[in-house]
């Protein structure tokens, strides 16, 4: 069995090499010194940051035995796998059209292409490395969520130093674990200079002394963790900036803070992972929004939703209706109007609310409408800017009820604000009611 498992891993790696060679011959991807092949092979090793035993035989990125069971149950042998995969790769390669630009290499998008391939189109190996580590972190977090009950990861953290995050919110065990996974993964990429997490009080420089990574990454490691015990959709949100120049003479604390407080208009990439019936990564590099689904057989994120476009108008609004009587008059009028079908859209709107920002936003991205929180509750740096970037690249809008989210210059890493994301016509109609921000918070006990 061990020999067959190793052979299976070898064959998949060969397919990865053929795939990269095909892309290189097509002129779409410059050789990256084997980086992509190494990243793809790592997905099959089921390793968790140097400890191969952590996930092997359990869950998370499928291991060789999972792959073999899949092949055996389908009646195929390893040769069938190669025969099935290689023609698809060659077909993709034959259709790619290169348009070389100054910084990026633009190629045709296809269902089935890997997220690593899309990252490689950005024209630099540093982005490939960072995205490879984000993918790995999301796979490990997905595994931890799936095994939370088994590994006693439900409930609140009792870690030394307290059980609240930088915003004073109680931390779940999985909040802490997910944060550690993201921080470790990004640090190990070697290409991240500064990290800023919703769970940490301050951003920090993670580049070794005398070195400087190319990127700054801000993230919410586990959005929606309040719902974790009932297995409702949760997610990870992230945004990537270029590290600032001209700040090297400052203290590391000041460097970290200035890098983390960049406006959303400076984002070079952003996205979110969705942990639900499927594990997805939806992201943008500034040229469209694309969705990738984790293939449970191969442990690879493959494109399933190329060039996602949010409908111009939807028929669903997502907000906590229980707070209706605390809302400002303008927001009450808007919701009353669309529920009765008396707004610009003659159809009556329906309410769908999960209380998981990633889950509510993902549904809105697919079906249209609006996902919103009128209170100053969601973070500009870690949640609003990245998701607004994703929304805009899919033809949608991100607003605080009065202005474009990405135009707001952050003044604190944990700055909060109202957030309205969704279809452009719905968000514009909402803004026209004027008074939609709930600036008075009576306080809610959960």
**Would you list the domain boundaries of the chain?**
115-307, 316-433
Quote the CA–CA distance of 37 and 120 in Å, as a whole number. Answer: 12
Residue 417: φ, ψ to 5°: -165, 165
Alpha-carbon span 367 to 223, nearest angstrom:
21
- Torsion, Cα 408 414 415 419, to 10 degrees, reads 80
Superfamily of domain 115-307: Fructose-1,6-Bisphosphatase, subunit A, domain 1 (3.30.540.10)
pLDDT recorded at residue 157: 81
- 10-residue mean pLDDT series, the chain (446 residues): 47 45 40 33 35 34 38 37 30 30 53 91 92 97 94 80 63 94 96 97 92 96 91 96 93 96 98 97 97 94 97 97 95 98 96 96 98 96 98 98 97 97 98 94 71
What pLDDT does 51 receive?
Answer: 35
**CB neighbours (10 Å) of residue 432?**
12
| pLDDT of res. 271 | 98
| Long-range Cβ contact pairs of 158-166 (< 8 A, separation 24 or more) | 165/198, 165/199, 165/200, 166/198, 166/199, 166/200, 166/201, 166/202, 166/414
| Helix-strand-coil split of the chain, %, nearest 5 | 40, 20, 40
CATH topology of domain 316-433: D-Maltodextrin-Binding Protein; domain 2 (3.40.190)
Does residue 274 contact residue 212 with C-beta atoms inside 8 Å?
Answer: no
Residue whose entry in the numeric block shows the structure tokens 């993918």? 135
Number of Cα atoms under 13 Å in the Cβ half of residue 211 = 11
pLDDT in tens, 12-62: 444 444 444 443 443 333 333 333 333 333 333 333 333 333 333 333 333
Judge contact between 193 and 259, C-beta under 8 A. yes
Answer yes or no: are the C-beta atoms of 142 and 275 closer than 8 Å. Answer: yes
Q: Which pLDDT value is given to residue 240?
A: 98
Identify which of 444, 446, 427, 445 has the alpha carbon closest to the alpha carbon of residue 436: 427
* 93 phi/psi in degrees, rounded to 5: -60, -35
* Same fold for the pair 115-307 and 316-433: no
Q: How far apart are CA 151 and CA 153, in angstroms?
A: 6
Q: Are 95 and 101 in contact (CB under 8 A)?
A: no
Q: E-assigned strands of 156-250?
A: 192-197, 204-205, 215-223, 234-242
Instruction: Please report, for residues 130, 204, 251, 264, 411, the alpha-carbon distance to residue 259 in angstroms, rounded to integers and kept in the order given.
Output: 17, 10, 12, 12, 12
Q: What is the pLDDT of residue 9?
A: 45
What pLDDT is stored for residue 110 in this prediction? 83
């Amino acid at each position: 069995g061990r020999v067959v498992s190793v052979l299976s891993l070898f064959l998949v790696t060969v397919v990865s090499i053929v795939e990269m060679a095909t892309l290189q011959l097509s002129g779409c991807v410059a050789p990256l010194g084997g980086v992509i092949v190494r990243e793809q092979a790592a997905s099959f090793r089921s390793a968790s940051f140097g400890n191969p035993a952590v996930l092997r035989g359990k869950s998370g990125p499928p291991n060789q035995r999972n792959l073999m069971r899949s092949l055996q149950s389908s009646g195929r042998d390893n040769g069938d796998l190669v025969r099935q995969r290689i023609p698809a790769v060659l077909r993709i390669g034959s259709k790619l059209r290169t348009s070389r630009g100054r910084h990026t290499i633009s190629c045709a998008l296809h269902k089935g292409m890997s997220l690593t391939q899309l990252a490689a189109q950005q024209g630099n190996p540093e982005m490939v490395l960072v995205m490879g580590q984000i993918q790995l972190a999301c796979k490990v977090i997905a595994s931890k969520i799936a095994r939370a009950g088994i590994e006693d990861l439900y409930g609140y953290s009792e870690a030394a130093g307290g059980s609240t995050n930088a915003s004073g919110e109680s931390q779940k065990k999985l909040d802490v674990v997910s944060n550690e996974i993201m921080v470790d993964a990004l640090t190990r990429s070697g290409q991240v200079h500064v990290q800023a997490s919703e769970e940490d009080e301050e951003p920090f420089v993670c580049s070794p002394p005398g070195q400087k990574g190319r990127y700054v990454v801000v993230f919410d490691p586990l959005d929606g963790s309040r719902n974790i015990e009932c297995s409702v959709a949760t997610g990870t949100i992230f945004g990537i900036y270029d590290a600032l120049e001209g700040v090297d003479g400052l203290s590391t604390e000041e460097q970290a803070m200035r890098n983390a407080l960049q406006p959303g208009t400076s984002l070079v990439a952003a996205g979110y992972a969705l942990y639900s019936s499927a594990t997805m990564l939806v992201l943008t590099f500034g040229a469209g929004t694309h969705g990738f689904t984790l293939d449970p057989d191969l442990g690879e994120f493959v494109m399933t939703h190329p060039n996602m476009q949010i409908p111009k108008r939807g028929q669903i609004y997502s907000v906590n209706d229980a707070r209706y009587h605390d809302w400002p008059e303008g927001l009450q009028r808007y919701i009353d109007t669309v529920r009765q079908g008396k707004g610009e859209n003659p159809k009556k709107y329906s309410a769908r609310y999960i209380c998981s920002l990633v889950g509510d936003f993902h549904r809105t991205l697919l079906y249209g409408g609006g996902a919103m929180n009128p209170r100053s509750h969601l973070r500009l740096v870690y949640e609003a800017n990245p998701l607004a970037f994703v929304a805009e690249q899919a033809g949608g809008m991100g607003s605080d009820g009065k202005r474009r989210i990405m135009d707001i210059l952050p003044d604190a890493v944990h700055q909060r604000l109202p957030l309205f994301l969704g279809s452009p016509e719905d968000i514009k109609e909402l803004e026209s009611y004027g008074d939609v921000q709930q600036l008075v918070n009576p306080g809610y006990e959960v």
